[in-house]
Amino acid sequence: MLIRKLFKFENAHIVRDCTTQRCSENIHGHSYKVEVLLESNYLDNGQMVYDFGLTKRYIKELIDTFDHGITLWSKDDKKYITSMKVHSKRWVELPVSPSAEQFSRVIYLLVERVLACTDMQNGEREVQLHSIIVHETETGYAQGFKEDAYNAGMGSIELEDIVFSSQVQSEWSDPKLWEKLLARTLIKNPKKV
């Protein structure tokens, strides 16, 4: 069975080397919609695949890190990166260009790691991430699956290479969340949120 949770964020970026000059040479923003699709062949004690309320904590917080910020590509011009970090307190730096396709891959890896580190406490079984859909506009989206997230031919993404600004990290309910996820430390999945 598949379940879907929708998240939203506003973000600015430049997608270097794309065909459209407006996108490749100018900072611009989008109202993103992100669909997280989870699957399991089992239901928990509440007769659910995974309680939607549980997604409001770490999954939502990680997706929300992109909200009202700028996403930077670590291989972009160093002067540009430095300037953006000086003039914006909310930024995320990625090892890949921030296209909708790459957002779907990055967010897939983030959500997958949260699920892998979560101590399931209500009989959840074999909850897997099916895919991530990132709507960049009303008419265009990218859908990323596990094979896409790990496809080095699309650009290598190591979670250790993703950098969140200090303001972003300070807004998480657990300021050590990123450290825990990188260390693959279990995080409690409370029954009541």
Q: What CATH code is carried by the domain that includes residue 20?
A: 3.30.479.10
What residues make up the domain containing 75?
2-188
Examine residue 26 and state whether it is found in any structural domain, yes or no: yes
Phi, psi for 37 (deg, rounded to 5): -110, 120
Question: Is residue 59 a contact partner of residue 32, using CB atoms and an 8 Å limit?
Answer: no
Examine residue 142 and state whether it is found in any structural domain, yes or no: yes
In the annotation, is 23 catalytic?
Answer: yes
Examine residue 9 and state whether it is found in any structural domain, yes or no: yes
Given a cut of 50, whether residue 86 has pLDDT beyond it is yes
What confidence tier does 9 reach under pLDDT thresholds 50, 70, 90? very high
In the annotation, is 30 catalytic?
Answer: no
Q: Which of 69, 44, 56 is nearest to 121 (CA)?
A: 44
Examine residue 83 and state whether it is found in any structural domain, yes or no: yes
Label the pairing between strands 69-73 and 91-94.
Answer: parallel
Beta strands in 40-87 (DSSP E): 69-73
pLDDT at 184: 92
Question: Is residue 193 a contact partner of residue 54, using CB atoms and an 8 Å limit?
Answer: yes
| Given the residues 93, 101, 124, 136, the one annotated as active site | 136
Examine residue 193 and state whether it is found in any structural domain, yes or no: no
For the stretch 106-146, pLDDT in tens is 999 999 999 999 989 899 999 999 999 999 999 999 999 99
Examine residue 112 and state whether it is found in any structural domain, yes or no: yes
pLDDT at 193: 45
Close Cβ partners of 110 (under 8 Å, ≥ 6 residues apart): 59, 62, 63, 159, 162, 181
| Given the residues 23, 35, 39, 61, the one annotated as active site | 23
Label the pairing between strands 69-73 and 28-39.
Answer: unpaired
What rounded mean pLDDT belongs to the chain? Answer: 94
Given a cut of 60, whether residue 29 has pLDDT beyond it is yes
- Number of structural domains found in the chain: 1
For the segment 179-190, the average pLDDT, to the nearest whole number, is 85
Examine residue 54 and state whether it is found in any structural domain, yes or no: yes
